[in-house]
Structure 1
């Protein structure tokens, strides 16, 4: 009798349980929550939520001497592939960033920053202890950079899906990026974006990457092939998620004669050119017995040296070393000019006596 009275209540409870939304979480891919004492999150590849499209845009407004601030905009199109409602908590992994904001349409979504993201089945294994010179394509080692894998940063925010619903989420933040100014003529700036956590979403997304620089004239290196669409914009489109994180570096080459930004290599090539031009000018002056040919050439060679030897040794020795090289080249040209004048004069005197 008692069980007969409870039967309607039991049926009601079962129906309510079936109607409750499924719980899941995500990090560019979904998450499981282990026990609190375990302290790590596990990315879930069975979330039944697919990433349809991901567009990442780095916009640079201006460049400081030692910083490169990027305004990063990430557009996610997510689709709930199941017939059940879902409540997700998304964990967006990013390098050091600030001004983090998440929105859906005109509505801002509350995000909580997590300065020490720990996951079981994903980690930022691609630690960059090198930077690529965009001019020469040569990798430069960051000698003072630790090779240990440090924790990534992230932000958590909730999302709720109706059955088979598609959502468009926009994430905005500012990234300061990296800077390399050791042994190079022009400063190299670098940036990193974690693409690989998105592999835990279902499906193969359409991925668009875009870089909008503040000024024309930059040279860019990207580990993912990109096409330059105008003087300040680079783009890449993929029909599936790349298998590695996105890393790019750029510089604005100035006073570079040869295709290298490496200080030692470029300066040696310039000095070699100075020596070759000096020999050619001297040979022409001696051949035509016109000393003014070398004198005029010497002024041009000296100006060439001053312009293209713009950096040597770095701060605080740059002005000293560059000035010393200019002085040595100038004195060398002056000595050559004196010797050439004497040689031409002596040859003329010998011709007269014959």
Structure 2
């Protein structure tokens, strides 16, 4: 069972790794289009009425649609590469088509996840069990597996998975919509931020970040705002701590602090791992609190990040970016203060203690 779950995690993360560039490309292009529209005072650049407007507004309207085209590939790519991870190239067709159908059926991220797994395991089962004479074996990977793998996948999605997963996705979207207003948005930001800070790229972090990115396609940005703020807080925080109180840290961690600060600026959370592993009992709670408070600060003050980018190169595309940056700063200072006041073992020159 442990091996199965480990493989399942690997398959899902493969899908995520291929999905992320599509998500980023589409969302950034849409972000550029919407910032361009705002220059002309247009806040709904996606509306069809802007096709015939004056100046560059039609161009930004078209650009927004092109970004949406890239973003629309997010779920098919996610499902396709989950299937690819399970069944190699023969699983790609069934996975992609299953992901497109999941999109059309309104099943959202969960439906695409199911489509990828169904396609992958069906194709893998057929590949392991269909035996033909050697003279005809070449038709298995190019005809039998893609054709019947796709057929069985879309039939299961259409007649078994589609309706319940669509209802589940709608319920999730409605719940998240309700959580995106008033005091509930603060609770959502605290939860998402804390999850992101808990294991720094581990399964809990990934669950929060991937769910937040998936909700972008539903027009829900609070979770993404919280996640993107939280991703970089620990790395920036530990980097700041090594600058503020250098004597508390060993020479190795002082150097790691410089790298951690730079990694934070470009949106990489793993720079905080060496510091956290020195004393996880003390540092994990510090990370969680810093990320949760920083995310809640940005969200409660009205920051909205509609693109899945946490690095400094995306900050100016955030609505109310000054308070977004303030949230990052608040969370980072909490982590820095926690490392300085509560951290133990940072001054050891024993390399084994920090890796």
Pairwise same-fold verdict (TM > 0.5) = no
Report the TM-score, using the length of structure 2 for normalisation.
Answer: 0.22
User: Max radius of gyration: which structure?
Assistant: 1
Q: Looking at both structures, which has the greater relative contact order when contacts are Cα pairs under 8 Å and sequence separation is at least 6?
A: 1
Higher helix share: 2
Higher strand share: 1
Report the TM-score, using the length of structure 1 for normalisation.
Answer: 0.22
